Amino acid sequence: MKITNKFDAPIEFVRAVEDDKYDRGDADISVTSLIQPPQIGNLYEKHDDKLSTDVDDKMVMWLGTVVHNALELYADGLAEERLYAEYNGLRISGAIDLVKEGGHVTDYKFSKTGAVQYGLKAEWEAQMNLYAWLLRQNDREVQSLQIVVVCKDHNKMYVGKRKNYPASIINCLPVPLWPENRLERYLAERVEIHTAEDDVECTEEERWWNGRNQEYMRCEHYCGVADFCTQFQGGV
């Protein structure tokens, strides 16, 4: 994927976002990819040489990485540990931000305040429970899960004026631990659609339908491969 610089950002910013050290390790798929629609991942892989993203767009992700790295320096526990496990022949990996003594698992998110206002995201809940599965597959204890959200757009002037607006820029969200049968069903379903021979289209839920605006929010505004998606371009 090509990185553009449409707004003439200084060269140090360009170099910073180009220095992407992400690596899923010796795995077929990562937890974060497993919870995403397979069609998106397939299109990214298929059209990588035609895709581009701008420094301006990458900067938000880079800032999130900086926050992660800084917090790990002061964490009391095992930080940013990548674990591996196999399910039905698929090798899965996940980089867990923090595991404290006693099996208390934390993931950091650098996100908008809406992530706190509107309740725990379903994909975050799934991600954390897959981390719990990875830990247990590696003979590690899991007692609790939480996500710590650092609200990148927090504004104190909205506290008490907007419904459920968080009072603090830092918010700890407890994540329910799924019973074993629910986790097993979810894992089997995700592995099945990601290993299917035929292309699997995105579901209505995955496309984020907005009834008020009458549009699929993810497709219209957040999907980097929408231009190559026959499902979206065909108006399906």
Contact 27, 194 (CB under 8 A): no
Using 50, 70 and 90 to split pLDDT, how confident is the model at 5? very high
Q: Percent of the chain having pLDDT more than 90? A: 72
DSSP state of 183: H
pLDDT for residue 60: 85
Is residue 101, in this structure, part of any structural domain at all?
yes
Is residue 203, in this structure, part of any structural domain at all?
no
Is residue 18, in this structure, part of any structural domain at all?
yes
pLDDT for residue 72: 84
Q: Is the pLDDT of residue 172 over 90?
A: yes
User: Mean pLDDT across the stretch 82-99?
Assistant: 94
Is residue 110, in this structure, part of any structural domain at all?
yes
Return the ∠ at Cα 45 (arms to 123 and 88), rounded to 5°: 60
- H or E, element range at 83: strand 78-87
Q: Percent of the chain having pLDDT more than 70? A: 99
- The CATH number that applies at residue 47 is 3.90.320.10
Residue ranges with strand state E in the chain: 2-4, 29-30, 52-54, 78-87, 90-100, 104-111, 144-151, 170-175, 209-210, 215-216
pLDDT in tens, 113-127: 999 999 999 999 999
Q: Is the pLDDT of residue 21 over 80?
A: no
pLDDT in tens, 175-227: 999 999 999 999 999 999 999 888 889 998 899 888 888 899 999 998 999 99
pLDDT for residue 236: 58
- H or E, element range at 95: strand 90-100
Is residue 99, in this structure, part of any structural domain at all?
yes
Q: Give me the domain span that covers residue 24.
A: 2-194
Higher pLDDT, 4 or 22: 4
Contact 225, 40 (CB under 8 A): yes
Closest CA to 85 of 97, 76, 73, 93: 93
Is residue 47, in this structure, part of any structural domain at all?
yes
Is residue 92, in this structure, part of any structural domain at all?
yes
Number of domains observed in the structure of the chain:
1
pLDDT for residue 160: 95
Please tell me whether residue 211 adopts helix, strand or coil conformation: coil
Q: Is the pLDDT of residue 82 over 80?
A: yes
Q: Is the pLDDT of residue 137 over 90?
A: yes
Averaged confidence pLDDT in the chain: 92
pLDDT for residue 75: 86
pTM, 2 dp: 0.91
pLDDT for residue 30: 95
Is residue 222, in this structure, part of any structural domain at all?
no
Contact 92, 27 (CB under 8 A): yes
pLDDT for residue 90: 94
Closest CA to 102 of 149, 68, 147, 146: 146
Strands 78-87 and 90-100: antiparallel
